[in-house]
Structure 1
Amino acid sequence: MTFEWLNEEEIFRGRAFAVKKVKVRLPDGRETTYDYIKHSGAVTIVPVDDQNRILFVNQYRMGVKGMLMELPAGTLEEGEDPAICAAREIREETGFAAKEVTKLGEFFLAPGYSSEFMHVFLMTGLYPAPLKQDDDEFLEVEAISVEKVWEMIHSNQIHDGKTLACLLLAMKQLKNAA
């Protein structure tokens, strides 16, 4: 099947993404228009401390009009190496750096309308190394045992999709994975 992009028009450009209208020729020859978000990509970190606890951040999210518990994450700068971005983001969001970094995988976050591609890292051997948080971030860090995290997943207490996907990718590496 062939989908041909005929043209695209940028409707909005923000800090992390652009919104575009894209005209596409479908496999049957008809033409239609899609809304598309062009995103620079992102990282998510599964930080595990020496007590086998995962560090989460609680932060306000516009889409849910409230606080959401998530794994630390951040947007890639144009052309930035994902490992470098992850090393910066863990320090900004949790105040820790990691001695060991393992790439767990990668995935598209919402391919129905966005190009956002997520890179996932497990970070262990944590030690204090804070960086200043972004001016618009107000984060609360919470350390939760791996055992308790699996209970929270199974009782529908974690609602962030990227966090759930990243924990699944980390399952084999985490002690006491359920």
Structure 2
Amino acid sequence: MSEDNVVLPDGTEKTYTMLDLPDFAGVLPVLDDELIMVKNYRYPIDEMVLELPAGFIDEGETPEEAAGRELEEETGFVLEKCEKLCEYHPVASLNDQEAHLFVGEAKKGGEVDHDEGEDIEVIMLSIKETYEMLERNEISHPHTVIALYKAEHLLKDEF
């Protein structure tokens, strides 16, 4: 964490407390007519959360490389090609972290390598079922929701 004393555009002085986090990348991987998702245990809410494979970008790594690495580490699938969906600042009020989201084609053949303490379950869902779950609010992870809405036009022929 860090603190900055700033003068806002209206002249008001304020101390900003910021949470320093690295940028991250996530991918909505497609294999045939299914999406490869993961369920991750999230301690702050004490729940298994359905989400896209994602993680921090390592130093010297591109967002695309990080998305592919995270997909393989979390699921054992390999990213063949990907298309950028968007980039944004998830919590601009707390930090300058940048999120990079992709959609891509995956294939079997990678090696799972979970980080210590990760409790991950790989879930294969049809594209149709995924969007039905999204509409019923059964998928609520913010980055996953954004990726699904951003990718809908690319996946529309699939469902």
The answer to whether the superposition gives a TM-score over 0.5 is yes
2:148 to 159, 167, 175: 167
- Paired residues for 1:28-39 under 5 Å: 28-39=10-21
1:152 is displaced (CA, Å) by 0.8
- Matched residue SS, 2:31: coil
Bigger radius of gyration, 1 or 2? 1
Q: Does 1:24 align with 2:6?
A: yes
Q: Is the contact made by 1:98 and 1:127 (CA closer than 8 Å) also made in structure 2?
A: no
Per-residue deviation, residues 106-152 of structure 1 (Å, max 9, x unmatched) = 11111121212111121214222114211121200001111111111
> What is the distance in 2 between the residues matched to 1:125 and 1:101?
9
Matched residue pairs, number? 159
Which fold has the larger relative contact order, with Cα–Cα distance below 8 Å and residues 6 or more apart in sequence? 2
Per-residue deviation, residues 30-82 of structure 1 (Å, max 9, x unmatched) = 211122122220001101111x1111111111221221111100001234211
- Matched residue SS, 2:117: coil
Identity %: 32
TM-score relative to the length of structure 2:
0.92
Structure 2 residue runs of 5 or longer lacking an equivalent are none
- Matched residue SS, 1:151: helix
> What is the distance in 1 between the residues matched to 2:158 and 2:30?
13
> What is the distance in 1 between the residues matched to 2:131 and 2:157?
9
> What is the distance in 1 between the residues matched to 2:92 and 2:44?
18
Q: Higher helix share goes to which structure?
A: 2
1:21 is displaced (CA, Å) by 1.4
- Paired residues for 1:107-122 under 5 Å: 107-122=88-103
Structure 1 residue runs of 5 or longer lacking an equivalent are 1-18
User: Aligned-pair RMSD on alpha carbons?
Assistant: 1.6
Q: Higher strand share goes to which structure?
A: 1
Flag as ranges the 4+ runs of structure 1 deviating above 3 A.
175-178
TM-score relative to the length of structure 1:
0.83
Instruction: Determine the structure 2 residue equivalent to 1:94.
Output: 75
